[in-house]
Amino acid sequence: MAQATETNTTSRRQFLRTATAGAAVVQPLGVSLACATPIASAPGDDPDAEILDLETEIHRQYAAAQVISHEGTAPLRDEFTRLLNKVANGLPSAREELKIFGEQSGWNRAIADADVFFNRADDLIHVMWSKTAKTNAGRAAKCRIFLLHVVDDSEWLGPDSDLDWDISLGRRLMFELAGMSAADIALLSVRRHLTAAA
């Protein structure tokens, strides 16, 4: 169970704990679902129908987790940030204050409630990864899940000029395979900027 005493912000859950709590939810999934529309096929003919269904459910679980996390922590964001800064500055009683705040304010409860949905999504991702995609639509669905919910975006979002060459090329390939456009990359970059500034 997540606690308010954690300060690492590298995982998507920690990012939500500390960053998105103060930012408006741009869209629960971070990008337009228009880019995530699978290629239609006749009912029963799609060998990757299960992968596409898993993608939809994973997005739903993450969206629910983000909304719960945001609603439960947004009113507490300023105090949480103040206490985190005290911890970062090495003040002796800060960790205990942060722990008490997390327990008494409802912060830890909101994170625990969101984790129920994150854990469901993680389980579904494991199921998805156990299946081999047989179509471009199935491969694109797996790429979208990887980009939106698995990989840490701190090193690959932003303008190409700010990225290492290999990361820029890898990003373009992954977005191409996922069927996502340059506009989708820009939207994700804006979301990152907004949550970092909050």
Give the span between the Cα atoms of 155 and 139, in whole angstroms: 23
Of 158, 131, 166, whose CA–CA distance to 50 is shortest? 131
pLDDT mean over 152-160 = 74
More confident residue, 113 or 17: 113
Distance (Å, whole) CA 113 – CA 117: 7
Average pLDDT in the 28-33 region?
38
- CA separation for the pair 41, 157 (Å, rounded): 33
* pLDDT given at position 192: 56
Q: Which helix (H) or strand (E) holds 25?
A: none
Question: Which of 75, 63, 64 minimizes the C-alpha distance to 30?
Answer: 63
Tens-digit pLDDT profile for residues 165-195: 888 888 888 888 888 877 777 777 666 545 4
pTM higher than 0.75 for the full model? no
Q: Which two tokens stand for residue 156?
A: 């690959």
Nearest Cα neighbor of 143 from 52, 45, 60, 64 is: 52
Tell me which of 50 and 191 has the higher pLDDT.
50
Tokens 């869209």 belong to which residue?
A: 27
Average pLDDT over residues 42-61: 89
Q: For 76-102, what is each residue's pLDDT tens digit? A: 999 999 999 999 999 889 999 999 999
Can you read off the two tokens belonging to residue 19? 């960053």
Q: Is the pLDDT of residue 8 over 80?
A: no
